[in-house]
């Protein structure tokens, strides 16, 4: 139980960084931390008591294994977050090109 | 990068030496995707890192002379089309999309488990080329050359 | 063969466009057109062949519940028709609009990926597959919002991207909680397993999904990305985003999760009612004060989605019928209004209402179709907006909630005021306009005429004979609630 609460605390740290930091790069890093927290929670839900890694090898007999489905979900989720980070970095380069600053409180041409 | 020659000569020598080992490791992870952890995504990332180490060590202009970038774009775009063609083979054999039409083989063999091996290879090549070309597009902007790419 | 082709045809055409579109410029629009027409014809055939049944297709031959299944039921087929129709008119519009923005094939490739991913959201029967297709659609939307290359487009796209990544993490945590409670990911099996789980767990799951997908639907506390993103995007993309994206990614997924999986617990229905009414009022109050035409249309989108949520929160067949009818109507007239804004932007070079003039003589099709669109959204008979809003208000009164009906009527009156302002300043003001900066092409005019005619024709859907044929199977599929699971798992 304490593990899940720590995982949620990691998510809240990422959310804090996203809301309060003003540098564009730090916002991207904070959104990455939130993604890691969600992935960690998915993998932790697959743990079975005294289970081994879910791969069948030559010469070993089958034993109690941890659940492999959350691991497949996390693989897909990591690739999706890679795409999000790449898109955000590309937008940061273009924003620096146009606004000449990395400070998000100065990038406010749209208001109302 | 401000100096057009890339990093120092030590980094360039070691990159030249290790490049073959990185590509071998990447292909190993892709081909053994159905026997051990890894598969298309992980192996593709290692392949992309092989290309990227050359880009970082030598800088952009030499790599532009060595690699034919439009051919890489075409190979990358035909990856998903190959995947869809493999999936349609399943429909051609009378079942659903992505049905397993190749033989299943014996357990623990390299050619076992039917479909997973060709799909892993296609995904690995596509992911590797995509990551490399994405970083290549990001390095196009030179801060000293002025505004507006 | 049919359900996967909704996903295969757009995605294959997207990658074909990246392969051959570099060489010759004409292949991009041609391939995109061919794929969209094919998807439109297929979706019409599927809806009328389906009737009230349900079609289950197992990918890869794996049996349920071990594999991923594609499920087409009347609600999904109805929304497939809407997506195909709006994307066809958007392609017609963009052929001449995109010419002045740069190389074409990138736009068409991203557009086909967006259409393919939205089709994927609508036909899938597996929860994680839904999440993956949502992410693909969102990526295509980021790229398309930032397509023009001007400074405010990148800022809007960055804000949209950051907020969407927060909501994606929340959805992942919701999927983790659902998996730990039920050990399966197929939506039908989840609804069977959740009926034996306590109400506390259902509230957790529902709250996390509401926060995650509510942001993609721009419900009131989570709406802050919508005005920037929809006003900075190019006009055909604004109509796709506002007309179909917030409805497939937001409203359709919420209906699936809260009606078919969770079985519509009362606490969430009350939340829908409150948030829907809040969206109606605050959206239209913020819209009246805007002078930028596209920002005004974006705020009024928030308000109209509030009507749809109000209808869904009522949990009666009449309310759900009104909500789904309003979904179709809003897609039609909001797209029409965004196309008008795009034509005005090309013709006059500005989006500010105070600088526009009297263009009834120079742009007659734009002026008359904009009058049709404004009358439809304000709810004036015989246009379709009147009938759908009337059904929602009557359903609210019948469910003994007259206060919400009163607020919906107030919202409708304020919408009328907003669009009277658009007509007076944008189309018929006193400043004379001598000449235009650019003429609109034939594609833009055709798209506007098609949508204006459809705005009148869809009023016929309320006639009882046609209603049973078109709308009633869809309403029955939604009100069936957890009967969806029995239909998917049992009858094959």
Residue range C245-274, pLDDT digits in tens = 988 888 899 988 888 888 778 888 888 889
Cβ pair C205, C177 in contact under 8 A:
yes
- Domain coordinates in residue numbering, chain C: 2-490
Spatial CA neighbour of C135 closest among C66, C212, C70: C212
B94 in A contact zone (CB under 8 Å): no
> What per-residue confidence (pLDDT) applies to B110?
67
- Domain coordinates in residue numbering, chain A: 2-105
- 3-state DSSP assignment of residue C432: strand
Please indicate whether, in this complex, the C-beta atoms of A11 and C173 are within 8 angstroms of each other. yes
> What per-residue confidence (pLDDT) applies to C100?
63
C271-284 tens-digit pLDDT = 888 999 999 999 88
Topology classification of domain A2-105? Helix Hairpins (1.10.287)
The DSSP letter of residue B3 is S
- 3-state DSSP assignment of residue C58: strand
Cβ pair A87, C157 in contact under 8 A:
no
**Residues 111 through 130 of chain B touching chain A, CB cutoff 8 Å:** 127
What phi, psi does C126 have (nearest 5°)?
Answer: -130, 140
C432-446 tens-digit pLDDT = 666 666 777 777 788
Q: What's chain C's average pLDDT? A: 84
> What per-residue confidence (pLDDT) applies to A40?
92
Most confident segment among B84-93, C49-58, C125-134, C424-433:
C125-134
> What per-residue confidence (pLDDT) applies to B34?
80
- Taking 90 as the threshold, does the pLDDT of residue C221 lie above it? no
Spatial CA neighbour of A66 closest among A51, A77, A78, A84: A51
d(CA B82, CA C227): 40
B68 in C contact zone (CB under 8 Å): no
- Taking 90 as the threshold, does the pLDDT of residue C25 lie above it? no
d(CA C420, CA C428): 10
Which residues have C-beta within 8 Å of that of residue C211, sequence separation ≥ 6? C167, C170, C222
Please indicate whether, in this complex, the C-beta atoms of C15 and B77 are within 8 angstroms of each other. yes
> What per-residue confidence (pLDDT) applies to B100?
64
Please indicate whether, in this complex, the C-beta atoms of A97 and B141 are within 8 angstroms of each other. yes
For residue A39, list chain C residues with Cβ-Cβ distance below 8 A.
172
Size of interface A-C (CB pairs under 8 A): 98
Most confident segment among B113-122, C81-90, C481-490:
C81-90
**Nearest C-alpha of chain C: how many angstroms from B95?**
7
- Domain coordinates in residue numbering, chain B: 9-138
Cβ pair C298, C231 in contact under 8 A:
yes
B96 in C contact zone (CB under 8 Å): yes
> What per-residue confidence (pLDDT) applies to B18?
92
Mean pLDDT of C319-324: 87
Better pLDDT: C434 or C459: C459
C146 in A contact zone (CB under 8 Å): yes
Least CA distance to A83: which residue of chain C?
C139
Peptide bond into C42 cis (omega under 30): no
Closest by Cβ to A88, choosing from C161, C176, C179: C161
Please indicate whether, in this complex, the C-beta atoms of A109 and C155 are within 8 angstroms of each other. yes
Closest by Cβ to B108, choosing from A58, A86, A93: A58
> What per-residue confidence (pLDDT) applies to B48?
93
For residue C61, list chain B residues with Cβ-Cβ distance below 8 A.
90, 95-96, 99-100
| CA C321, chain centre distance (Å) | 17
Interface confidence, given as ipTM, is 0.92
d(CA C15, CA C17): 5
- The count of residues in chain C is 492
Mean pLDDT of C120-125: 89
- Enumerate residue ranges in chain A where pLDDT < 50: none
For residue A109, list chain C residues with Cβ-Cβ distance below 8 A.
151-152, 155
Cβ pair B141, A93 in contact under 8 A:
yes
Strands C55-58 and C69-72: antiparallel
H or E segment to which residue C34 belongs = helix C27-50
**Nearest C-alpha of chain C: how many angstroms from A107?**
7
Mean pLDDT of C56-73: 78
Closest by Cβ to C19, choosing from B74, B88, B97: B74
- Taking 60 as the threshold, does the pLDDT of residue C492 lie above it? no
Q: In the 3-class helix/strand/coil scheme, how is chain A assigned residue by residue? A: CHHHHHHHHHHHHHHHHHHHCCEHHHHHHHHHHHHHHHHHHHHHCCCCCCCECCCCCCCCCCCCECCCHHHHHHHHHHHHHHHHHHHHHHHHHHHHHHHCCCEHHHCCCCCC
Structure tokens at C128: 């994680």
The DSSP letter of residue C62 is P
Please indicate whether, in this complex, the C-beta atoms of C15 and B90 are within 8 angstroms of each other. no
> What per-residue confidence (pLDDT) applies to A94?
86
Better pLDDT: C149 or C95: C95
d(CA C34, CA C275): 40
Better pLDDT: C95 or A60: C95
Neighbouring C-beta atoms of residue C465, cutoff 10 Å? 7
Structure tokens at C385: 């907006």
What phi, psi does C390 have (nearest 5°)?
Answer: -65, -40
Paired strand residues for C465: none
The DSSP letter of residue C61 is G
Residue B45 Ramachandran class (φ > 0 left, ψ -120 to 50 alpha, else beta): alpha
A33 in C contact zone (CB under 8 Å): no
Spell out the per-residue pLDDT of chain B, length 149, in tens: 445 567 888 888 999 899 999 999 999 999 888 877 888 888 999 999 999 999 888 888 888 888 888 888 889 888 889 988 888 877 665 556 666 656 566 666 666 666 778 888 999 999 999 999 999 988 887 666 655 54
Neighbouring C-beta atoms of residue C424, cutoff 10 Å? 12
- The count of residues in chain B is 149
The DSSP letter of residue C261 is I
Cβ pair C290, C303 in contact under 8 A:
no
């Amino acid at each position: 139980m304490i593990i899940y609460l720590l995982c949620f605390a990691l998510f809240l740290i990422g959310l804090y960084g996203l809301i309060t930091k003003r540098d564009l790069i730090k916002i991207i890093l904070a959104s990455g931390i939130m993604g890691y927290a969600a992935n960690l929670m998915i993998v932790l839900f697959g743990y079975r008591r005294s289970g081994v890694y879910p791969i069948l090898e030559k010469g070993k007999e089958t034993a109690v294994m941890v659940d492999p489905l959350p691991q497949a979900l996390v693989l897909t989720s990591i690739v999706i977050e890679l795409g999000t980070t790449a898109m955000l970095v590309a937008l940061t380069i273009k924003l620096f090109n146009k606004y000449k600053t990395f400070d998000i409180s100065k990038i406010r041409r749209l208001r109302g | 990068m401000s100096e057009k020659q890339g990093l120092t000569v030590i980094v360039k020598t070691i990159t030249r030496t290790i490049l073959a080992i990185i590509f071998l490791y990447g292909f190993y992870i892709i081909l053994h995707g159905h026997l051990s952890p890894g598969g298309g995504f992980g192996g593709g990332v290692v392949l992309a890192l092989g290309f990227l180490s050359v880009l970082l060590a030598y800088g952009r202009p030499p790599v532009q002379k060595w690699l034919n970038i439009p051919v890489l774009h075409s190979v990358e775009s035909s990856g998903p089309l190959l995947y869809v063609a493999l999936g349609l083979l399943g429909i051609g054999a009378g079942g659903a999309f992505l049905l397993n039409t190749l033989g299943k083989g014996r357990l623990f063999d390299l050619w076992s488990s039917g479909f997973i091996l060709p799909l892993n290879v296609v995904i690995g090549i596509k992911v590797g080329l995509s990551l490399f070309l994405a970083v290549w597009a990001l390095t196009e902007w030179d801060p000293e050359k002025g505004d507006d790419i | 063969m049919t359900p996967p082709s909704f996903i295969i045809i757009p995605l294959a055409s997207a990658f074909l466009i990246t392969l051959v579109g570099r060489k010759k410029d004409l292949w991009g629009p041609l391939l995109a057109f061919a794929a969209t027409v094919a998807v439109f014809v297929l979706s019409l055939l599927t809806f009328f062949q389906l009737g009230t049944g349900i079609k289950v297709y197992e990918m890869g031959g794996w049996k349920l519940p071990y594999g991923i299944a594609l499920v087409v039921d009347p609600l999904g087929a109805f929304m497939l028709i809407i997506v195909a129709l709006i994307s066809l008119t958007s392609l017609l519009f963009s052929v001449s609009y995109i010419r002045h923005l740069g190389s074409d094939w990138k736009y068409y490739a991203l557009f086909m990926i967006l259409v393919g991913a939205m089709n994927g959201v609508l036909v899938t029967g597996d929860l994680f597959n839904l999440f993956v297709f949502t992410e693909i659609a969102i990526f295509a939307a980021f790229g398309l919002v930032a397509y023009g290359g001007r400074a405010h487009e990148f800022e809007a796209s960055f804000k949209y991207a950051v907020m969407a990544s927060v909501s994606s993490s929340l959805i992942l945590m919701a999927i983790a909680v659902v998996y730990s409670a039920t050990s399966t990911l197929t939506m039908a099996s989840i609804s069977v397993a959740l009926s034996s789980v306590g109400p506390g767990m259902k509230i957790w799951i529902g709250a996390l999904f509401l926060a995650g997908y509510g942001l993609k639907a721009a419900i009131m506390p989570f709406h802050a990305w919508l005005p920037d993103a929809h006003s900075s995007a190019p006009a055909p993309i604004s109509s796709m985003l506002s007309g179909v994206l917030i409805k497939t990614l937001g409203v359709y997924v919420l209906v699936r999760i809260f009606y078919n999986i969770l079985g519509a617990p009362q606490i969430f229905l009350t939340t829908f009612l409150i948030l829907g009414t809040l969206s109606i009022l605050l959206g239209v109050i913020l819209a009246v004060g805007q002078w930028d035409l596209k920002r005004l249309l974006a705020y009024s989108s928030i308000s109209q989605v509030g009507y749809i949520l109000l209808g869904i929160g009522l949990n009666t067949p009449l309310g759900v019928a009104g909500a789904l009818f309003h979904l179709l109507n809003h897609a039609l007239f909001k797209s029409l209004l965004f196309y008008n804004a795009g034509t005005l932007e090309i013709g006059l070079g500005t989006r500010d209402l105070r600088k526009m003039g009297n263009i009834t003589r120079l742009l007659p099709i734009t002026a008359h179709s904009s009058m049709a669109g404004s009358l439809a959204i304000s709810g004036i008979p015989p246009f379709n907006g009147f009938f759908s809003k009337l059904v929602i208000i009557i359903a609210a009164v019948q469910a003994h909630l007259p206060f919400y009906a009163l607020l919906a009527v107030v919202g409708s009156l304020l919408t009328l005021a907003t669009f009277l302002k658009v007509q007076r300043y944008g189309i018929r003001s006193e400043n004379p306009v001598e000449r235009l900066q650019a003429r609109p092409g034939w594609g833009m005019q055709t798209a506007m005429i098609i949508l204006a005619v459809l705005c009148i024709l869809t009023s016929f859907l309320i006639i009882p004979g046609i209603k049973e044929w078109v709308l009633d199977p869809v309403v029955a599929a939604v009100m069936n609630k957890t009967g969806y699971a029995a239909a998917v798992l049992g009858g094959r």
